Chains A and B, each alone.
Chain A
Amino acid sequence: MKSKALTYLLSNQNADGGWGYAPLQSSAIEPTSALLLALRDIANCAQSSQRAIEWLRRAQNSDGGWGFNLNDAESGWQTAWAVLALRLTAGEGDGSRRGAKWLLNVQTMQLTPATIQFSMKTLKIDPYLRGWPWLPGEATWIEPTALSVLALVSEADIASSARMNEAIQYFQDRRCPRGGWNVGNPIMFNSALPAGAHTTALVLLALSKLAPKRINPEDIKVLRSEMGRGGGILGLAFGLLALRTLGEDDPLAEVRLSEMQGQNGGWADDLYKTAVVLMALRGKI
């Protein structure tokens, strides 16, 4: 299963060194970063990885962040992926340091009396807690917050900072009433919104690095339940990755993933999803 997937990934690397979400698409930051992470420590992939690292470095914007791809001058949430990939595959470097700085300084939506009232009354969330936005100037959401924590937590001086403590509180505040996490709105107009496997898994991955003792068994239970509810390949793969990172497992999830593998070795003919599945099978980012 893995060797066929590796062949699929390596044979679809673009000439510029990056990968798109799917074969023949132009290179983008998220899939390239995810593939770098999936290929790390695998023999015979060093050359491909080095080309991808060079592409990622070329794609960094002058403000230190990364956008969607090489041509996107607006830095955004993809910065977390690039920092994480560069730190874990290329080691400490100026590029990832500048990326981390961008993440720490990114602006979120300005609070107004109306947004404060709306957040507290309709969404029942604490608007003063800072997470991370998808793009600068926006509201904060679960997925970019979890990714940013994963990218930043390897820095000892950041890991224990007030910003990281605030991230833990943020996750607690945005937790769904029945456990787990969705995009970041646990409640809307008095309706409890359901959690999702993908977002719950990302928060558990972030908390596993940041504050493992704050992980609630109920959240793991919700993750297992959501993984079985047709969340697609990413929900299943990120879920399995989170479980294995926490020292747990779901053998049935691996069986289901193996059944989803395509003839060409990839999952849904999607390079990004295939990379996440490989990380899940390995059991660590």
Chain B
Amino acid sequence: MNRRIFLRLAALAAIGVSAALIYRNTAPIGAWNYFRWAARGQKQRFFGPPGIVALGECSSYNTNLLPCLRGLWNQAEMPEVRGKRVLIKPNLVDFLENHPVTTAPEVVVGVADLLFELGAREITVGDGSAFRRETWPIAEANRLASALASRGLKFVDLNYDDPQPVPIKEKWFQRASEFWLPRNVLNSDLIISVPKLKTHHWAGVSLSLKNLLGVVPGARYGWPKNMLHVNGLPLSILGVYQILPPVISVVDGIIGMEGDGPLFGNPVPHGLLAVGRDPVSVDVICTQLMGFSIESVPHLMLAAWAGIGQTHRIKIQGVPRESLQRHYKPPPSI
């Protein structure tokens, strides 16, 4: 074998190995999507619209949150809600005494009050617990039920809300061509994700995007919604996000959770409210304010890579981020 033949064979082998590696790495979503998403990610990074995140400081739930939320809403240049049907989606995954698992009711009704003020046509509050067959007892335990009653607001258990199938975009769910979503979700013009700021042992953090998995109907997928994990949590989080009506964010970080989240972590008096029209941008900033890099959150890395939302060019409004910077204890690693 002369040198030329050897080099040709080596080049062919390298091409073959590269092709095999690409095939293996892209198998879940297909090579076409792999390269298309990567190109979209680069386009979004350099040419996509910048994200705007408004940060507010509020040390207690015992103050009137409406003025703060109103200010942040304006600073974040949030979308028009007049005449719209809006679904407020808090985190009601479970209730555990002495652990700040759920979104505080004061934040949920603060958002509802603001929506009333802004002329929303219909306001519904809904979630579907991941572990319990009934979500309403969680709302009762964390005082959301009485807060909603005081405003005459309707609550929907999204686990049983007459789910309907909708087509899946691209290949975010590998084993299915359709995904079932609750009727109130499909009928909404706008969803406001109102998560609790906390760590999460599978996802790294649980913020606006992870909170959206509560819309997945247990009556179709079970308790817990294991399909989301089998599909891969990062793909599922972004897959669900993309089949929903437009989603915006209001994050309850007045008291956050560190350590063994999403259930058994410890409270952190953080004093943060974060508002933005791009949930990806909001989650990037909140992750950083918890003291983590987005490299530690696979679904944010995937969003950056695939060009879902804005992860790089984010404009901060309101309180300077330095005064809200904390260093949360990370969740236990898998």
Contact = CB atoms under 8 A, between A and B. Distances in A.
Interface string B145-176: 00000000000000010110100000000011
Contacts of B332: 189
A18 interface: no
A183 B260 CA distance: 19
Nearest to A268: B136
B224 interface: yes
A141 B227 CA distance: 12
A183 B220 contact: no
Contact of A182 (B131, B220, B221, B229): B131
A63 to B, nearest CB: 15
Nearest to B225: A134
B198 to A, nearest CB: 15
B222 interface: yes
B137 interface: yes
B120 interface: no
A198 B223 CA distance: 12
Contacts of A143: 222-223
Contacts of A234: 133-134
Nearest to B135: A232
Interface string B189-233: 000000000000100000000000000000111111011011000
A134 B159 CA distance: 14
Contacts of B305: none
Contact of A68 (B163, B201, B229): B163
A189 B260 CA distance: 9
Contact of B221 (A22, A135, A230, A235): A135
Contacts of A137: 175, 230
A183 B223 CA distance: 7
B278 to A, nearest CB: 32
A198 B176 CA distance: 30
B220 A22 contact: no
Interface of A: 20-22, 25-26, 28, 30, 68, 71-72, 74, 76-77, 109, 118, 122, 133-135, 137-139, 141, 143-144, 182-183, 188-189, 191, 196, 198, 230-235, 268, 270, 272
Given A141-B224, A198-B133, A232-B134, 18 more contacts: A68-B220, A72-B165, A76-B220, A76-B222, A109-B230, A137-B230, A138-B230, A139-B230, A141-B223, A143-B223, A183-B223, A189-B332, A191-B264, A196-B132, A231-B132, A231-B137, A235-B133, A235-B134
